Amino acid sequence: MLVLSDATAKLLTESLGVVQIVCIRAVLLVICLTLFFTASGKREVLHPGDLKMQLIRGTLACGSVYLFILGISYVQLAEAAAASYLGPIIMTALAPVILGERVGIHRWGAVVLGFVGMLIMLRPSANGIAWAMLIPASAAVFGALRDLFTRKMRSSGHPVSVLLYSNLIIAGLGLPFMLWNWQPLSLTQTAILVLSTSLIGTAHLMHIQAFRLEEASVLAPFRYTGIIWGVLFGYLFWGDLPDRWVLVGAVVVIVSGLYIYWRERIRSR
């Protein structure tokens, strides 16, 4: 569902600005979440908790989503998905600084391997490097920081409120730029925006519920199925197929990420 929402967003980038796409999706999500949980008598889940942490987390989420949607306007879906897999690796590298967690030599080795995989995807050569891949990679940095601060918010705010206030910040920061560069929406564009919002909203709620029911180390491998959907939707919609450097680099990054999760599971035992 996440990759399909990215595919609909990529379709929209062909005729609309990135800020307008992301901002409208965020506004629609805020409205839908507020109305649904208010009407169902569960307004308490919308309480923000620690406002300072909500602001930090929302700002980082803002950087992640805007950069990612900008990235998929330049690169293939599968390439953007592969670059996003740097997230868990960056989280491991930054965990000692932000969370004070100890990272052993095995996981540091996996971090180095992950960055080697990213270098392979950038495919440096005499002709230069694939600079556009740095955009979704930068989104992964913001996403990793967002997830680290989400860990610090475990006892502050319901998961739904985290999703709500993050999208409120995404909409608020993007609104002035959207109004400045507003483009009228056609009926087709509006329908795709509603579909994209429904997909990403439902996917995030399912993601939150999954992590409430099961350990992260069990769920982690499913994250990497995104590249399969990225290749499939990229081919069906645009006839795109990633080159061998992206595929090789993605395999290296995925192996690195899975090894990190495996080591974390051993430590938790």
Residue range 35-66, pLDDT digits in tens: 988 888 887 777 877 788 889 989 999 999 99
In this model, does residue 233 exceed pLDDT 90? Answer: yes
Mean pLDDT of the chain: 86
pLDDT at 43: 79
pTM of the shown model: 0.87
Distance CA 75, CA 244 (A): 15
Residue type, 223: R
Domain that holds residue 49: 2-268
The whole-number average pLDDT for the span 257-265 is: 82
Residue type, 239: G
Quick one: pLDDT band at residue 28, thresholds 50, 70, 90? Answer: very high
**128 CB neighbour count, 10 Å cutoff:** 9
At 125, give phi and psi (nearest 5°): -155, -175
The whole-number average pLDDT for the span 123-152 is: 81
Closest CA to 139 of 74, 60, 193: 60
Distance CA 236, CA 140 (A): 25
Domains held by the chain: number: 1
Quick one: pLDDT band at residue 155, thresholds 50, 70, 90? Answer: low
Radius of gyration of the chain from its Cα atoms, rounded to whole angstroms: 19
pLDDT at 212: 67
The whole-number average pLDDT for the span 7-21 is: 94
The whole-number average pLDDT for the span 208-219 is: 69
Mean pLDDT is lowest, of 154-158, 185-189, 236-240, for: 154-158
